[in-house]
A and B are shown apart, each in its own frame.
Chain A
Amino acid sequence: MKLALRGLRVACHGFEACYDLALQGQATALYGPSGSGKTTLLEAVAGLRPSQGRITLDGAALQEPGHCLPAQARGIGYVPQDLALFPHLDVRANLRYGLRGRGGLGPGLDEVAKALGLAGLLGARVTRLSGGEQRRVALARALLAGPKLLLLDEPTANLDPALKAQVAELLKGLSQRFKVPFILVSHDAREIAGLCGQVARLEQGRCVALGRPKKVLELDRPASPARAKAKPLALKGWLDAMC
């Protein structure tokens, strides 16, 4: 997967975010403090937030001047932090929602439900499920729509460490099994390092560092003589190298 954002401008928390970066790989992450524009970036890529600029996914334009695919036609799955399960539908109906219009491609409901341990919950109301079960339903629902890319907004937020590790393992397994790349937002450097091959660090609606987690996440460590010597990331050079 290669997602390229070129001069993508989006209104964000009272300022204008401007993204110029290319993410590639099966698992990538957005990292940064609250309000740095991580969710805004996901929403713009998913087509849920008005933006200007160019977005391409594997070379195909999702958005460019004079042409903008609606969210329905982008083929991008989105799991927001609040999961947004449809409260008036049971688990099965939630999972089936994205099946229509997929043209019979991709994994089937039973296969995904089994992979996520939801086979016994299909008739349950989503409001009656535990937090972990709801999370799995949201993931399964997004997977069943057959996305080319999955956007996950803080998929392990507010989970205890054991459950967090389980969800991370699940993500890794699902991505490999169903061959769906994902971009996740996370505040957890360790989680990113364990899951993702590339991370973009955002601040104030700008990408200030992009690269392998080990390198980018070092920026968060307390200042050390080695870090003091490190030069700020030459973003333009990175972008050129990525394209």
Chain B
Amino acid sequence: MLGAETIRVLWFTVASALLGVALATLPALALAWLLARREWPGKALIETVVALPMVIPPVATGLLLLKLLGRRGPLGALAYQALGMDLAFNWKAVPLAMAAMALPLMVRGFRVALEGVNPRLEQVARTLGASERRVLLTITLPLAGPGLLAALVLGLARSLGEFGATVILAGNIPGQTTTLSLALYRAVELGHDDEALFFLCVSLALAFGALWLSGRLARRLGPGGAS
């Protein structure tokens, strides 16, 4: 069962998910911070737009990404002209799709974690002479740490199971863009029941592990805001 192609699919899925989460982390953190700590015009609108991928069909998100990142899309054309790089229908499209789908969950999780930190602690740190950077590194991030980590793991779990957006933006190209979910779909479609069952079990194990870890980390969030 664990042939070279299967191992490649598993490795590629995990690596793409990690890369997708890494791509989404900074924008998600910045958005979460802006949503949690600042009042600004258009905040509600941006909040809604960021949450959209959680409620619209993943295939629709994939199509939107294709329109943006395809060679004729605004961002895709820019990447092609500047770097000679295609962002759709190759391996690069997989972590991009995963990042787009993980981002809303991560923003939500990061926001909850940041809101759990008592702003009074940051204020007092400032009166003690700490720069904004020092406040962030020594007060905000350590206290929000468990919640931030839980959101990262949740984003990773979402990426590992990604299907709809990936299949539209990256296609299902054997040896290039096939992830665990796409391999499972193909196995079902071709009637390879044993293979499908194997991929199903791996998917379940990965998702269970990630959710369990995320839950444990989230439960540690409690003391974060206490003073």
Contacts and interface: CB of A to CB of B under 8 A. Distances in A.
Nearest to B121: A84
A142 B129 CA distance: 10
A76 B129 contact: no
A27 B62 CA distance: 65
15 contacts: A71-B126, A71-B127, A72-B129, A77-B127, A80-B123, A80-B124, A82-B227, A84-B123, A86-B121, A97-B130, A97-B138, A98-B129, A101-B129, A142-B128, A145-B128
A70 B126 contact: yes
B120 A80 contact: yes
Interface string A142-168: 100100000000000000000000000
B120 A82 contact: yes
Contacts of A231: none
Contacts of B49: none
Interface string B98-140: 0000000000000000000010110111111111000000110
Contact of A48 (B126, B131, B223): B126
A128 interface: no
- Specify the main secondary structure of chain A where it touches its partner: loop
Interface in A92-133: 97-98, 100-102, 127
Nearest to B139: A86
B143 interface: yes
B226 A127 contact: yes
A88 interface: yes
Given A84-B118, A84-B227, A87-B143, A48 B123 contact: yes
Contacts of B143: 87-88
Contacts of A97: 125, 128, 130, 138
Nearest to A126: B227
A103 to B, nearest CB: 10
B129 A87 contact: no
A235 B126 CA distance: 34
Contacts of B174: none
Nearest to A75: B129
Nearest to B124: A84
Interface string B70-81: 000000000000
A80 B127 CA distance: 11
Contacts of B142: 88
A85 B124 CA distance: 9
Contacts of B125: 86, 97
Contacts of B123: 43, 46, 48, 71, 78, 80, 84
Contacts of A43: 123
Contacts of A101: 129
Q: Which 9 A-B pairs have the closest CB atoms?
A: A98-B128, A71-B126, A84-B124, A78-B127, A84-B120, A101-B129, A145-B128, A48-B123, A84-B227
A193 interface: no
Contacts of A88: 142-143
Contacts of A145: 127-129
A83 interface: yes
A72 B118 CA distance: 18
B131 A72 contact: yes
A43 B123 CA distance: 9
B223 A87 contact: yes
A214 to B, nearest CB: 32
B225 to A, nearest CB: 8
Contacts of B131: 72
